[in-house]
Amino acid sequence: MSSTSTTATASALLAEIADVGRDAVRGGYTRRVFDPAELELRAWFTDHAVALGLDVRLDGNGNLWAWWGAPGPDAVVTGSHLDSVPGGGAFDGPLGVVSALAAVARLRSAGFTPSRPFAVAVFAEEEGSRFGVACLGSRLLSGAIDADRALALADADGVTFAAALTAAGLDPTRAGLDEAALARIGVFVELHVEQGRDLVDRGVAIAVATGILAHGRWRLRFTGSGNHAGTTPMTDRHDPVVAAAAAILATRHRGTAALSRTMQGEASAAAAPRATVGRIEVIPGGTNVIASLAELWLDVRADGEAAVRELVAAIGDDARAAAKLEGCAFELHEESFAPQVTFDPAVRDRIAGVLGGPPLIPTAAGHDAGILAGRVPTAMLFVRNPSGVSHAPDEFAGEEDCELGVDALVAVLEDLL
């Protein structure tokens, strides 16, 4: 890996990390926060930032800040994240980070001097793939999650976030709301690969975001009676997997019904509700074992908190009924929630003006920019993704579009700085 290619393109920088965290089983990348692959990416980022003359600091929540000159106040901050979903693509997160590095390199080589403080940020655990809560670093920083709750979150091996921070050399007692860090941010701009086909359909490479749908994660727990798959009569079972299966189907049916109702109204397809079960845990998970416990992770997104909560309640009712029918206990826990976001209209319009009137589009994906929007002005740029796929190995952005993304980010930074 190079640490001195300070004028590399975004694609060349992505190529440098193309082998880090590859997932031989799922395909794509698995880069969980503070796992070796993500730590390698953090070190790689730090090397590049230092080579560009930036001063890299790690905050108490595990977020990296690379400062051009002295930190804040009223700083312009850009960046994204380096962690991924399990078996994710190469662009979700890293594109925003490499574009920021490429933009700094361009500004440096043009002899540009910022008139405001400026930093590149890398946020921790954006995907929530390890500890379950998405955007954990920016939530902690902005007070959107209580530090005690975050520190007690555990990964699949029972390692707590507190233990992971300690292993990464951080002091868990420093985790939590960071008013000093927030006070340094004047505006945060996150560049991100588009996670849909809007820009492909429009034939345009770059867009500015308008907002993010309300969304959250819930855990559905079905507790039954573990027993022998061979000797337990079919009429004498309390199988949590059967109840969970009914809840998965209910998720699809309820989500589709909510979609039909939405489409009869004025709402656009972009604001349509979505309900997904993408993670299933069965305990103990043996072929010849009737499980004792099944857990589903439910992801629901819709136009506004009320619509999300209505959909979750309906799925919860169906799941409870399915559990009762099977003689299982049922619990529904909210793991995280992110309210509807409208990005700062003044910053959005200023950026759109700088970029000559790009499309203004909403998204149903969560981002650190969305969490930070609760405390500071934020904005997002999207780069066209020809596959339209994200959170999967087919996620893509072409080399030329990545450079157009860097061009856009440079123009925005020159204007803001």
Q: Which parts of this chain interact with Mn ion (CB under 5 A)?
A: 92-93
CB of 367 to ligand GLV, least distance (A): 7
Binding partner of 248, given Mn ion, ligand GLV, none, CB within 5-8 angstroms per partner class: none
CB of 134 to Mn ion, least distance (A): 8
Q: Which helix (H) or strand (E) holds 105?
A: helix 94-109
Binding partner of 134, given ligand GLV, Mn ion, none, CB within 5-8 angstroms per partner class: ligand GLV
CA distances to 191, 221, 278, 295, 341 from 309, rounded to whole Å, are 30, 18, 19, 20, 16
CB of 128 to Mn ion, least distance (A): 9
Closer to ligand GLV at the Cβ: 33 or 290? 33
The count of residues interacting with ligand GLV (CB under 6 A) is: 4
C-alpha span between 365 and 308 (Å, rounded): 14
SS3 of the chain: helix, strand, coil, percent, to 5: 40, 25, 40
Closest CA to 26 of 88, 116, 95: 88
Residues in the chain: 417
Closer to ligand GLV at the Cβ: 273 or 366? 366
Residue 41 · residue 82 · CB < 8 Å: yes
Closest CA to 55 of 73, 70, 35, 75: 70
CB of 87 to Mn ion, least distance (A): 12
SS3 13: helix
Closer to Mn ion at the Cβ: 250 or 369? 369
Contact with ligand GLV (CB under 6 A) among 38, 59, 125, 127: 127
Binding partner of 366, given ligand GLV, Mn ion, none, CB within 5-8 angstroms per partner class: ligand GLV
Closer to ligand GLV at the Cβ: 62 or 366? 366
State the residue for tokens 């997904």: 276
CB of 266 to ligand GLV, least distance (A): 25
Give the nearest residue (CB) to Mn ion: 92
Residue 273 · residue 251 · CB < 8 Å: no
Cα atoms in the 13 Å half-sphere on the side-chain side of 198: 20
**What residues does 338 pair with on adjacent strands?**
215
CB of 73 to Mn ion, least distance (A): 27
Closer to Mn ion at the Cβ: 92 or 401? 92
Residue 272 · residue 287 · CB < 8 Å: no
- Is residue 366 within the footprint of ligand GLV (CB under 6 A)? yes
Binding mask 75-114 for ligand GLV (x = CB under 6 A): ----------------------------------------
**What residues does 22 pair with on adjacent strands?**
29
Closer to ligand GLV at the Cβ: 125 or 127? 127
Closer to ligand GLV at the Cβ: 355 or 369? 369
Binding partner of 198, given Mn ion, ligand GLV, none, CB within 5-8 angstroms per partner class: none
SS3 321: helix
CA of residue 310 relative to chain centroid, distance: 23
C-alpha span between 391 and 92 (Å, rounded): 7
Residues that bind ligand GLV (CB under 6 A): 127, 134, 365-366
